[in-house]
């Protein structure tokens, strides 16, 4: 599995497994654990969760039941809006407890809340100093939010996790992050999952341009989109539940996209968000509690 070296020297697998809304939103049952174990059996070692997903315990059970050495795994979680600021350290400890881990590989601010960012980040820096987390990062941060962090951060962010797929290529943000040596992590790389209520007919996996490429290379539309990310040095964290989809999303190494094909996918951009907009997300997020 290919890796990207973050700006603090930590290596992160370029292909991860997203866990948001496996089964249903905030489910934490044996089905979630079994789905993650399937991904581990295929070869995934990078797993992305968050406190608000409500499934950290299920991921923790999968880690334990897999028998895999902890150092072979890369585990990411995130601090939610309602727990930022002075609640950050305690939120982190609750995530660790739910996951039954001694440390995280990556801890992110889930969404920007500028009035709390400094207090949140400084609490995260203390966790980093204490070696409770190997890397710190951002999620859904806008350019202005990154500039705010730069005015006081003692520990540099290593990445920015953003919604990115062929209908929302975020070229300006990608260029900005890569110029400042922030790795770009793509959430919902195939277009939002079933939880979003977006019909499959509106997602990039059914776009004729991508379907035609998939047929040419003898792969799935999802594999084409994921390869488009991987070849451009981005990190992708697709979610899947069936063993067939989990396996196919992982098998990206038997084909290459040409520069022309990459540009053709780039040109599909519609500036279309399936998920929340960072400009307004906090007003919604502050009404969403982290489950116990």
Active-site residue set: 53
- The answer to whether 183 and 177 have CB atoms below 8 angstroms apart is yes
Pairing of strands 159-163, 74-79: unpaired
- The answer to whether 42 and 247 have CB atoms below 8 angstroms apart is yes
State how far the Cα of 145 lies from the Cα of 148, in Å rounded to an integer.
Answer: 5
Residue 46 labelled as part of a binding site: no
Tell me the three-class secondary structure of 102-141, residue by residue. CCECEEEECCCCHHHHHHHHHHHHHHHHCCCECCEEEECC
Query: In 114-242, which ranges are continuous DSSP H helix?
Result: 114-129, 143-150, 171-179, 208-217, 221-230
Residue 159 structure tokens: 């990445």
Binding site per annotation, positions for substrate: 110
């Amino acid at each position: 599995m290919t890796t990207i070296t973050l700006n603090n020297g930590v290596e992160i697998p370029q292909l991860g497994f997203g866990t948001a809304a496996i089964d249903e939103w905030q489910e934490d049952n044996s089905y979630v654990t079994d789905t993650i174990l399937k991904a581990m059996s295929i070869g995934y070692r990078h797993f992305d969760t968050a406190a608000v997903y409500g499934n950290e315990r299920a991921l923790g059970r999968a880690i334990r039941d897999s028998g895999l050495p902890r150092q072979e795994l890369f585990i990411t979680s995130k601090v939610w809006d309602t727990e930022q600021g002075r609640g950050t350290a305690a939120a982190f400890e609750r995530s660790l407890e739910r996951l039954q881990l001694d440390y995280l590989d990556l801890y992110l601010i889930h969404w920007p809340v500028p009035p709390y960012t400094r207090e949140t980040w400084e609490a995260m820096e203390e966790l980093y100093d204490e070696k409770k987390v190997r890397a710190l990062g951002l999620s859904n941060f806008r350019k202005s939010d990154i500039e705010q962090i730069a005015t006081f951060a003692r520990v540099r962010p290593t990445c920015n996790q953003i919604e990115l797929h062929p209908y929302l290529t975020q070229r300006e943000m990608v260029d900005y992050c890569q110029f400042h040596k922030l790795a770009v992590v793509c959430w919902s790389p195939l277009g939002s999952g079933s939880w979003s209520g977006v019909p499959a007919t509106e997602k990039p996996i059914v776009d004729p341009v991508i379907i035609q490429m998939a047929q040419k290379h003898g792969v799935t539309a999802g594999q084409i989109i994921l390869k488009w990310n991987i070849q451009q040095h981005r990190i992708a964290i697709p979610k899947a539940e069936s063993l067939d989809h989990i396996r196919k999303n992982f098998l990206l190494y038997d084909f290459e996209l040409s520069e022309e094909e990459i540009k053709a996918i780039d040109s599909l951009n519609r500036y279309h968000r399936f998920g929340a907009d960072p400009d307004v997300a906090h007003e919604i997020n502050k009404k969403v509690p982290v489950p116990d």
